[in-house]
């Protein structure tokens, strides 16, 4: 994935860096030759560059000027009606039912990565819409851990648990531990890995997590969570 080119915004004439096209985003329903500025990919790109700069500083190196230039001009995820668009090139994200399927990757911008610069209330509204409208049989095994991590970061631990336990065909684990997706795809490792990471994060916490034990689980007295050797997620 590359930050492809600069363009001028029509509103201000200022310069911004646009991600794609071409772009194959994690939600694989969009035409890669016309898709740009997917919310998850923009957040991941920004977080990656910011992390790389912090690592340079920890090593006693100067910040890389080219990376700071990209950070300064990189487009921000687009909003519509107080929710994050799946991609800026899909202004009909919430009106065209073709897009409410496959991975709800927009949630990954505040799940798999800590969502630098994202608005928490907008992401809550985004998750509300996903919960109520997504085509769940068309999802995949790692989507439920992703949604759980997003909910945990938003301090909605019951929603995080509900995401992990959602009763839907792709969220099935066989007796051997395999995340069954369909005949011919009975072993789906992204689902297994996502579940392990999400539960670990919900137990050990993450940078900026609420200062209570097991912050990703409800503190309602119904949960006894035991773990060892884990470190908080970024």
The tens digit of pLDDT for each residue in 40-68 reads 999 999 999 999 999 999 999 999 999 99
Q: Are residues 11 and 88 in the same domain?
A: yes
The Cα 179–Cα 182 span in angstroms is 10
Is the predicted pLDDT of residue 13 greater than 80, yes or no? no
pLDDT of the residue at 170:
96
- Please indicate, yes or no, if residue 109 is contained in any of the structural domains: no
Round to whole Å and give the CA distance between 54 and 62. Answer: 10
Examine the domain organization and report whether 2 and 94 are in the same domain: yes
- Quick check: is 114 in a domain? no
Judge contact between 147 and 103, C-beta under 8 A.
no
pLDDT of 145 reads: 98
Cβ atoms 107, 146 nearer than 8 A: yes
Kindly give, in sequence order, each residue whose CB lies less than 8 Å from that of residue 10, ignoring residues fewer than 6 positions away: none
What pLDDT was estimated at residue 160?
Answer: 98
- Residue 7 pLDDT > 50, yes or no? no
Instruction: Single out the residue of 207, 35, 198, 43 nearest to residue 118, CA to CA.
Output: 43
Please tell me whether residues 4 and 95 are part of one structural domain. yes
Task: Provide the domain limits for residue 145.
Answer: 135-227
Please report the pLDDT score of residue 166 as a whole number: 96
Checking if the pLDDT of 28 tops 80, the result is: yes
Residues 6+ positions from 148 with CB-CB distance below 8 Å: 111, 159, 160, 161, 163, 164, 198, 202, 216
Looking at residue 14, its pLDDT comes to 67
For the chain, percent of residues with pLDDT exceeding 70: 94
Residues 70 and 148 in one domain: no
Q: What is the pLDDT of residue 15?
A: 79
Task: Identify the pLDDT of residue 120.
Answer: 96
Would you give the end-to-end CA distance of the chain in angstroms? 22
Which of 5-19, 71-85, 152-166, 210-224 shows the lowest per-residue confidence on average (mean pLDDT)? Answer: 5-19
- The average pLDDT across 119-139 equals 97
Write out pLDDT tens, residues 182-214.
999 999 999 999 999 999 999 999 999 999 999
What dihedral do alpha carbons 59, 110, 65, 76 form, nearest 10°?
-170
DSSP character at residue 162: H
Same domain, 86 and 143: no
Last residue of a domain, one of 43, 73, 99: 99
The β-bridge partners of 46 are none
- 0.85 exceeded by the pTM? yes
Q: What is the mean pLDDT of the chain?
A: 93
Greater model confidence, 166 or 6: 166
Domain count, the chain: 2
Judged against a pLDDT cut of 50, whether residue 33 lies above it is answered with: yes
Nearest to 128 by CA among 153, 102, 171, 159: 159
Nearest 5°: the CA angle 10, 12, 16 is 80
For residue 137 the two structure tokens come to 């049989």
For residue 126, is it within any domain?
A: no
Share of the chain above pLDDT 90, in %: 93
Same domain flag for 79 and 10: yes
Lowest model confidence (mean pLDDT) among 4-8, 15-19, 46-50, 139-143: 4-8
Contacts of 185-191 with CB under 8 Å at 24 or more apart are: 188/140, 188/141, 188/142, 190/140, 190/141, 190/142, 191/140, 191/141, 191/142, 191/144, 191/145
pLDDT at residue 11, as a whole number: 42
218 within a domain of the structure (yes/no):
yes
Question: What number of residues does the chain have?
Answer: 234
């Amino acid at each position: 994935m590359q930050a492809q080119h600069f363009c001028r915004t029509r509103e201000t004439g200022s310069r911004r860096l646009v991600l794609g096209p071409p772009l194959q985003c994690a939600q694989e329903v969009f035409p890669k030759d016309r898709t740009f500025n997917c919310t998850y990919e923009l957040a991941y790109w920004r977080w990656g560059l910011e992390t790389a700069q912090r690592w340079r500083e920890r090593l006693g190196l100067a910040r890389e000027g080219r990376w700071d230039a990209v950070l300064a001009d990189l487009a921000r995820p687009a909003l519509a009606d107080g929710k994050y668009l799946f991609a800026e090139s899909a202004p009909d994200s919430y009106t065209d039912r073709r897009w409410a399927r496959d991975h709800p990757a927009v949630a990954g911008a505040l799940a798999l990565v800590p969502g630098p610069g994202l608005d928490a209330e907008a992401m809550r509204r985004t998750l509300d819409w996903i919960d109520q409208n997504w085509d769940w049989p068309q999802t995949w095994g790692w989507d439920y851990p992703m949604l759980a991590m997003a909910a945990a970061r938003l301090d909605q631990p019951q929603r995080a648990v509900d995401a992990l336990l959602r009763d839907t065909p792709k969220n099935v684990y066989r007796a051997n531990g395999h995340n069954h997706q369909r005949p011919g795809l009975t072993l789906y490792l992204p689902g297994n890995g996502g579940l392990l990471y999400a539960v670990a994060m919900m137990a050990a916490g993450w940078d900026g997590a609420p200062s209570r034990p097991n912050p990703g689980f409800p503190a309602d007295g119904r949960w006894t969570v035991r773990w060892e050797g884990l470190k908080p997620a970024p």
